[in-house]
Chain A
Amino acid sequence: MSGVRLLVGTRKGAFVLTADGKRQDWEVSGPHFAGWEIYHLKGSPVDPNRIYASQTSGWFGQIIQRSSDGGKTWEAVGKDFNYEGNPGTHQWYDGTQHPWEFKRVWHLEPSLSDPETAYAGVEDAALFKTTDGAQTWQELPGLRSAKGNLWQPGAGGMCLHTILLDPSNPNRIFVAISAAGAFRSDDAGKSWAPINKGLKSQFELPDPNAEVGHCVHRIAMHRSRPDVLFMQKHWDVMRSDNSGDLWTEVSDNLPSDFGFPIDVHAHEPETIYVVPIKSDSEHFPPDGKLRVYRSRTGGNQWEPLTNGLPQSDCYVNVLRDAMAVDSLDQCGIYFGTTGGQVYASADSGDTWKAIVRDLPAVLSVEAQTFP
């Protein structure tokens, strides 16, 4: 029987939400790792029972958990994230140089072909890889060679939050870092180049030709067209048709082009979703109305999706890793809020329903599809 499993990371633990293919009735399990911040959980596309989770705490540091039975039981695995060699320094808020210091894992991206292999995006920004099921982690230090000394933290920290693996080319990886920008490797992570041409950050980064320093919040791709990338930047929704070589703005009629997540419909590569947020100083939806915006034209011509979402007095935020899609025939869309709601749409965004309303603040949502 078809079904969906949502992996939800929150400020106070992880939750697993499951439903059959109708996606109307959900079972909630958790909290797993109660009291800990769970930045992200994600399952292997090769073996969906293999799930990796980033468990972290301001008191006790970083833990990585691994499940081999779909989240029923967990095992603490390797958590040593040591930068290669002398990591040197990066730009600090006041323009001085600051030593690179590991703080936490923001994002875990399992390999498309091997359940024992996964990537970890960390703060201070760097990319790590495991090939032994997360027992040990090795940095891919070429990334920090891409002008790492000029990177600087955004308000949320200097985090590597997005990792996209190209399904058609195992040597190609995209990552995004706040506030350094987007980067691409064409040799499986050995060397990297910034891919930020066309991004404009007038106030934060006056130099229009700056190669790094852009506050990219999230990038997304459709697996059938990995050369087409979509980006939610600090301000501006962007699109690239050439693997990030050049970006063009597609914000058009959005009520605000500030936001965090962006995602692509599972079966329509030109249908994309964002959640507009009022501004960088007011992290809540414009006019107190929680609206997902959908473009069926790969950007521009945005339509608000409001059916089932609160349209007054709503002042939650939706964080960058907190939106996901399933791949059932009728594509499901999911997002979690800082107010603890997880909303689901089983009809590509036309109608919405809250699966749960009172979780801790949601940091991440991932969907696993069982056809």
Chain B
Amino acid sequence: MIRVALPAHLRTLAGVSDEVQLEVEGAVTQRAVLDALEARYPTLRGTVRDQQTQKRRPLVRFFACSEDLSHDSPDIPLPEPVAKGTEPFFIVGAMAGG
């Protein structure tokens, strides 16, 4: 099971109080994880990545295993601890403002 940690606003929107756990078929990539997340919680479509372009929204960031994965290709495998479910994939609202 893949563990995904959502920011507070998206937890509220999805109606969950903690990390979510997702089954991902095949290679565990950003795209595969986000596809599984949106399939499980359709209300999150468009909140993490643009529905038309499939690009990450500008003020959303991805982290795992203390690494910033925001600029990685959505199709490369995520770190092994994420794929094994020992570490969560963090979706984070970027700090913005002053």
- Interface residue ranges, A against B (CB under 8 Å): 35-36, 57-63, 76, 79-80, 82
Contact = CB atoms under 8 A, between A and B. Distances in A.
Contact of A61 (B8, B47, B94): B47
Interface string B1-13: 0000001111001
Contact of A76 (B13, B57, B94): B13
**Prevailing SS type, chain A contact patch:** loop
B57 A59 contact: yes
Given A58-B59, A76-B43, A80-B46, A63 B94 contact: no
Given A63-B13, A76-B13, A80-B46, A58 B96 contact: yes
B54 interface: no
A60 B10 contact: yes
Interface in B25-54: 43, 45-48, 50-52
B9 A57 contact: yes
Contacts of A58: 59, 96
A59 B52 contact: no
Given A59-B57, A59-B59, A60-B93, A80 B51 contact: yes
Interface of B: 7-10, 13, 43, 45-48, 50-52, 57, 59-60, 93-94, 96
Contact of B9 (A60, A76, A82): A60
Contact of A60 (B51, B52, B60, B96): B60
Contacts of A59: 7, 9, 57, 59-60, 93-94, 96
Closest 9 CB pairs of A and B: A60-B47, A76-B43, A59-B59, A59-B93, A61-B46, A61-B47, A58-B59, A79-B46, A35-B9
Contacts of B51: 80
B40 to A, nearest CB: 14
10 contacts: A36-B9, A57-B9, A58-B59, A58-B96, A59-B7, A59-B9, A60-B47, A60-B48, A60-B93, A61-B47
A82 B46 CA distance: 12
A82 B52 contact: yes
Contacts of B50: 61
A60 B57 contact: yes
A133 to B, nearest CB: 16
A62 B57 CA distance: 12
A36 B45 CA distance: 17
Nearest to B96: A58
B18 to A, nearest CB: 19
Contacts of A62: 46
Contacts of B59: 58-59
A56 to B, nearest CB: 11
Contacts of B8: 35
A36 B13 CA distance: 11
A82 to B, nearest CB: 7
Nearest to B52: A82
Contacts of B94: 59
B43 A61 contact: no
Contacts of A76: 13, 43
- Counting chain B CB atoms within 10 Å of each CB, the highest count among A57, A60, A61 belongs to A60
A62 B52 CA distance: 13
Given A58-B59, A61-B47, 14 more contacts: A35-B9, A58-B96, A59-B9, A59-B57, A59-B59, A59-B96, A60-B10, A60-B13, A60-B48, A60-B60, A61-B46, A61-B57, A79-B45, A80-B46
A104 to B, nearest CB: 12
A100 to B, nearest CB: 12
A206 to B, nearest CB: 36
B51 to A, nearest CB: 6
Nearest to B50: A61
